Amino acid sequence: MGHPLLDFLLLLLIVAITTDVAASQPSGNITLNSLITAGENLSYWLSPSGDFAFGFVPVPSNSSLFLLAIYYAKLPNSSTIIWIPNRNQTLSLNSSVVLTTDGQLSLRDPAGAEVWNPSVQNAAYAAMLDSGNFVLASSSGSYLWESFSSPIDTILPTQSLGSNSELIAKLADDDFNDGRFKIKMQDNGDLVFYFIAVPTGFEYSQYWDTNTNISNSSLFFNSSGRVDLVSPTGQLIDTVTSINTNSTADFYQRGTIDPDGVFRHYVHPKSSANGAAAEWTSMDSKPGDICKALTKTGSGVCGFNSYCGYDRRGMVACQCPEGYSWVNPKRTYKGCKPDFAIPRCIDGFQSVGFRMVTVNNLDFPFQDYEQFYPMKADECTQLCLDDCFCAASILDGTGNCWKKKFPLSNGEKGSYVQRTAFLKVGNNDTLPSLSLERKKSLSLPASLGLGGSVLLNLTFLSATLIALGVRRKKQRQRLKGFKLGSNLRSFTYSELEEATKGFGEQVGKGACGTVYKGYLSTEQNGNPDVAVKKLRDFEPEMEKEFTNEVKIIGQTHHKNLVRLLGYCNQGVVRLLVYEYMCNGSLASYLFDGVRPPWKQRVEIVLGIARGLRYLHEECSTQIIHCDIKPQNVLLDGNFTAKIADFGLSKLLGTDQTRTITRMRGTKGYVAPEWFKNSSITAKVDVYSFGTMLLEIVCCRRNVEKEMTEDKAVLCFWASDCYMAGRIDLLVEGDDEAMNDMGSVEKFVILALLCLQEDPNLRPTMGRMMQMLEEKVAIPLPVIP
């Protein structure tokens, strides 16, 4: 290695080989030991006339990749490729083709490994012929192999497509992979055009044929300008395409099955002496109207949910209906995707969030699953809008109405289509689709750890707070222009000491402090009971912030928030006075006794959502709760849910910190961003709401370590059930819920949306409320 002499010898050897090999002629017969290399100047062999070349052409989309191809050498670029050895094989720079000394044609990668070989030995020479045929010939001149015998999608004058041979369209103009159409010269004598499946090539159905039956016929491109079907004895049976004005002397001609399924007979002037911009022109084609070619299986000519029409030049133009867009605009055969979430078939959900778009002269002939008669346009429209399975409805001129399901296929539009399509599309609300990130690392031991904390937390702050209608009239005042804190009463410590009988009756205890029941004899309103919260660890320097925050909390007025009635800031003592909630916390309501009625739970969900929406979006200063959990939702005498303890996170000065020790919130309910270096937004409450939503549906705590591993963590179990299509397992034994599976499913999906790892993917509470109230469509959940 690295020996100078060795290197020199090696160099000599290489020089010897390359000089020997590089001496090949670019046109005429190609002698043994000739070589062409991708990326070099002479990387092709020309036909004697120079019309055709066999060699390397750069891939249009990537000039560092090449195809080995036969192409029109004189046309401005090498875009018209007639033949390639392997449809889907791109080659890198320095790939080469060698006609070896033992008469084999070998395509090699830059390292010299063989990539392709037509399996012919002892050829005497090779030749790129003026017909466009590349041949390996014996010394007697007979062809051992020819490119004409393995066509791709094109045949040329003098070429024939023998019995049992096929032409397969490219997938797209720049994608040589097998496409969606083929022409087969069947041995029964019929020339048949097939729709085929990508990628297997399975034959869906035929869309055109010559309907001929003379065995062993072949397709022959007669140089006088016709593509004929000829019998084994050479007799003309049928003509597939023909032109009669453009001679092969002055025009290149080719017959190609294009990616749109049409076999076109193209001509191209050999010289553009007249100065006209020379291009390929289709002079004849089969079938005449490809848009009318239908296939029961597969998408038809255009992709799924797309429809077929023609542009001004008469070329096939596939289009997406309103409300849909291309899956890939450069690959229209991939079809159109709805720009909205496909309706979920949940009771009462069907038409909400959707509208109908009318398109005249459009039909999707298949995919119907129901038919009605007689129908008027508005009836046919409404039937589809009200049916969650319905993607579109089609009305004909006599009153037949068909409901169609996804994916739509074989769409055809044109004045001859005497039908009207009504397409169901989403209102313009677009939602992120669900992608629940499950941390595989959070295995059961970790979950149990959380479970322990949750159980501990449950003992805190269970019953709390509540009522006394201080100045009910003032409560009704509008928020705007409301004077800061004007409806809050400032208490003295002794007043509250007296009201709570010396802080004797403790009704709750939590992270923020201890809650005592009190009784205010001075209040005229019906309910004199109050809950007095003694804040713990209050730091004197927070004096100013305390007053500010209390005023902000005091401004909140909402049916689903626990009212702050007053406060006391005397010395180091900080007390908050709330209305008293006689039915205690949601936690004890859900977990401590018999299962509460389903209807009541549904109302509670709506109440909490409204309260949170108010905090996040409707009050003058946004309030992020940071500790949403069943212990912090209280129930009044009518079991109306009221959120408690909001605004305290800022009051306690903990909302800006993300360290776990000082983090506000309760394990099991806190959003993942608390553990990351990302900003804390209102979406942390949305996450907690998601957890709580599942708890309300199932009447169980998020973490129950007594349960089996698969069920121990409710969020995971719920997503498992959802994925398995067994949401019913979550409410097993709960007959009321079982009878309202539509709502159960809705809640579970919404909860899963809230539990997205990425806060941006969680809905806002405003959006959540709309989805709960079924005012907008709920996205189709995608769980990896």
Q: Which residues bind ligand NAG (CB under 6 A)?
A: 28-29, 41, 48, 60, 62, 64-65, 76-77, 79, 88, 93-94, 110, 125, 141, 213, 215-216, 222, 224, 232, 245-246, 267, 269, 281, 427-428
Closest approach, Cβ 109 to ligand NAG, in A, equals 10
Strands 143-146 and 134-137: antiparallel
Closest approach, Cβ 420 to ligand NAG, in A, equals 20
How far is it, in rounded angstroms, from Cα 660 to Cα 679? 14
Q: Which is nearer to ligand NAG, 401 or 776 (CB)?
A: 776
How far is it, in rounded angstroms, from Cα 560 to Cα 645? 12
- The Cα-based distances of 484 to 153, 547, 552, 555, 572 in angstroms read 79, 10, 7, 7, 23
Q: Which is nearer to ligand NAG, 109 or 757 (CB)?
A: 109
Q: Which is nearer to ligand NAG, 58 or 584 (CB)?
A: 58
What six digits make up the tokens of 481? 């222009």
SS3 state of residue 511? coil
Closest approach, Cβ 198 to ligand NAG, in A, equals 11
Beta bridge partners of 168: 182
Q: Which is nearer to ligand NAG, 350 or 457 (CB)?
A: 350
Number of H helices, E strands in the chain: 15, 44
The string of DSSP codes covering 620-681 is: SS----S--SGGGEEE-TT--EEE-STTHHHHTT-TT---TTT--S-TTTS-GGGGTTS---
Q: Which is nearer to ligand NAG, 79 or 453 (CB)?
A: 79
Q: Which is nearer to ligand NAG, 93 or 120 (CB)?
A: 93
Q: Cis link prior to 596 (omega < 30° from 0)?
A: no
Closest approach, Cβ 267 to ligand NAG, in A, equals 5
> Residue 209 — φ and ψ, nearest 5°?
-155, 165
Closest approach, Cβ 154 to ligand NAG, in A, equals 15
> Residue 765 — φ and ψ, nearest 5°?
-70, -30
Cβ 152 vs Cβ 165: under 8 Å? no
Closest approach, Cβ 76 to ligand NAG, in A, equals 3
How far is it, in rounded angstroms, from Cα 502 to Cα 496? 8
Closest approach, Cβ 212 to ligand NAG, in A, equals 8
Closest approach, Cβ 776 to ligand NAG, in A, equals 11
Furthest-apart CA pair in the chain: how many Å? 122
Cβ 75 vs Cβ 268: under 8 Å? yes
What six digits make up the tokens of 356? 């109908």
Q: Which is nearer to ligand NAG, 60 or 288 (CB)?
A: 60
Q: Which is nearer to ligand NAG, 64 or 620 (CB)?
A: 64
Cβ 669 vs Cβ 646: under 8 Å? no
Q: Which is nearer to ligand NAG, 267 or 682 (CB)?
A: 267
Cβ 108 vs Cβ 114: under 8 Å? yes
What DSSP element (H or E) covers 175? strand 175-185
627 has catalytic annotation: yes
Cβ 286 vs Cβ 299: under 8 Å? no
Q: Which is nearer to ligand NAG, 111 or 724 (CB)?
A: 111
Closest approach, Cβ 222 to ligand NAG, in A, equals 4
56-76 burial code (b ≥16 CB/10 A, e <16): bbbeeeeeeebbbbbbbbebe
Cβ 295 vs Cβ 206: under 8 Å? no
How far is it, in rounded angstroms, from Cα 394 to Cα 253? 43
How many Å is the Cα radius of gyration of the chain?
39
How far is it, in rounded angstroms, from Cα 742 to Cα 739? 9
Closest approach, Cβ 132 to ligand NAG, in A, equals 16
Q: Which is nearer to ligand NAG, 93 or 383 (CB)?
A: 93
How far is it, in rounded angstroms, from Cα 311 to Cα 216? 38
Q: Which is nearer to ligand NAG, 251 or 263 (CB)?
A: 251
- The residue from 153, 228, 529, 627 that is catalytic is 627
> Residue 267 — φ and ψ, nearest 5°?
-130, 155
Closest approach, Cβ 199 to ligand NAG, in A, equals 8
What six digits make up the tokens of 734? 């709960």
354-378 burial code (b ≥16 CB/10 A, e <16): bebeebeebbbbbbbeeeeeebeee
Closest approach, Cβ 232 to ligand NAG, in A, equals 6
E strands present in 296-416: 307-310, 316-319, 324-326, 336-338, 354-360, 362-363, 368-372, 392-396, 401-404, 411-413
Give me the active site residues, please: 627
